[in-house]
Structure 1
Amino acid sequence: MASFLRSRRERITPDEVGMPPGPRRRTPGLRREEVAQLAGVGVTWYTWLEQGRPINASPQVLDAVARTLRLDAAEREHLYRLADTPGPQPATDEAPALPRDMRTILDSLDLLPACLVNARSDVLSWNAAYAALFPILVNAPAAARNSIWFAFTTPRCCNPLVNLDEQAPEHVAIFRYRYSQHMGDPGWQEFVQRLCAASAEFARLWATHDVAPPRPCDKVFHYPAVGDIATRSTNLDLTALPGTRMVIYTPVDDESRANIAWLRDHPEATVPDHQH
């Protein structure tokens, strides 16, 4: 199992899946944490899978790993045998993870902050405007680069989202809607447990069991250098890659649009002047 999965991830470069190249790599291809992020599973869980530990992998999770590693039908069946899991459903022609043209689309949006995320809200790729709006998020390690984790665990002094109290219940309700489609997935369960432990507010809202379908959300950001930036976030699902979506932040007025343009040209203005 270890040799097979390692060989499959080493043949895929970050550029091929639309991810930033990151710092210098000791080995070719994707890292374990990047495979886990793209597949929407926990890093620890994927590491154990690659090590061949008895973790009772579900067909749904193995399918996600197979899609991420671009396994063909024979390789997919081989993965199931190595995991000692009942055979997969008949394979179909599946689109590669994060098609390369997504990078072009993100960059073409220019002054509209935009990113690609998986169902669990792990941020996979982004454009310059998004990086200027969320410097802490995009500079976090890949395994911690999650928008809902960022919203609920970033200290208020460093969190640019000023209407979080208003938006938090809806954020959690929509997240539960997506979670309900992945119940039994150890990666999702581990993530929710860690987030509940890290954020009392998330834990309180999670305990309400409120659920809501995805819909546009009004989000207001603030940076001292420019003031408020009012946006409306829109999610566009990628039919070529189920579970992956593009999130676009559209400014609702001319002032917000101008502020985003200024931040994009001066990204240093949003970097916190202190650390926690």
Structure 2
Amino acid sequence: MKKAVLPKPLRGIIPPIITPLLDSNTLDVKSLEKLLEHILSGGVHGVFILGTTGELSSLSYRLRHEFVEHTCELVAGRVPVLVGITDTALAESIQLAQTAEKCGAAAVVAAAPYYFSLSQAELIRYYQQLADQSPLPLFLYNMPSHTKISLEPKSVKILTQHPNIIGIKDSSGNGVNFQLLQYQLKDNPDFSLLVGPEELTAEVVLLGAHGGINGGANMFPKLYVDLYEAALARDLDRLLPLHQRVMQISTNLYTVGSSQASYLQGVKCALSLMGICQNVLAEPLQPLPEKEQTIVRQYLQELNVMLPTNAAV
């Protein structure tokens, strides 16, 4: 399969794509193709599968491997594909990394194992073992809200010394820690610093970070690419209204309902209303109730999104 060249550092907008499903254990390949073409048409710089937005922890191992195969085949080397290999078992992470390498992915991404709470020393050793055995370059993934472990900046600095660890996706939402990380790694220009929360993307890129792995780019890829390019150019007149639109998406679409998974529910509901995929989440998560789907529809209309009349939710 075709494989895209992985720039060092990796820059730009790399959407963490949803996993289109027909049911909890069946990949919707037609919707996956539609989603990828929609995202790539917006000029994104890569795609990231099997992350939090992709419901990694709820998917069977068979489905994860199948998802990697289909995504790499459909992307066909047009942009780098990053594959999430987070797991509680090192062997499972390595097996998925091997599938990713075989299928033509460019790199893998791993958050901390999320059952036992590890010390920083244990976490460093874990990542070093993972990087030693991975056939692809490894991005660290700091996601303390889901893993119960925060990857501290001083630990990241130690891990940058490993030749197979090439970047980090920081989804902590801790802007101070991210700026500390940027400062500590100012002499390591090839190490990619990517932020998860899209509310911070404009700020961190202005300050020298390399881009964002932003969930809203599933729906509005060009908006996030424009945001990144304006921040990179330090064009504040262009950047500020784009950032306001990103904040409008974040505060409206991601907060409907009372579930702690409201972000993911909102993204999938919006994509279904846009006619891109079905509104199916992997168990145990459930889609938004019908009343709340109506609220999402209203928010999309306020954002001037053209919705197909036959879009099913």
Q: What TM-score do you get using the length of structure 2 for normalisation? A: 0.24
In terms of Rg, which structure is larger? Answer: 1
Q: What TM-score do you get using the length of structure 1 for normalisation? A: 0.27
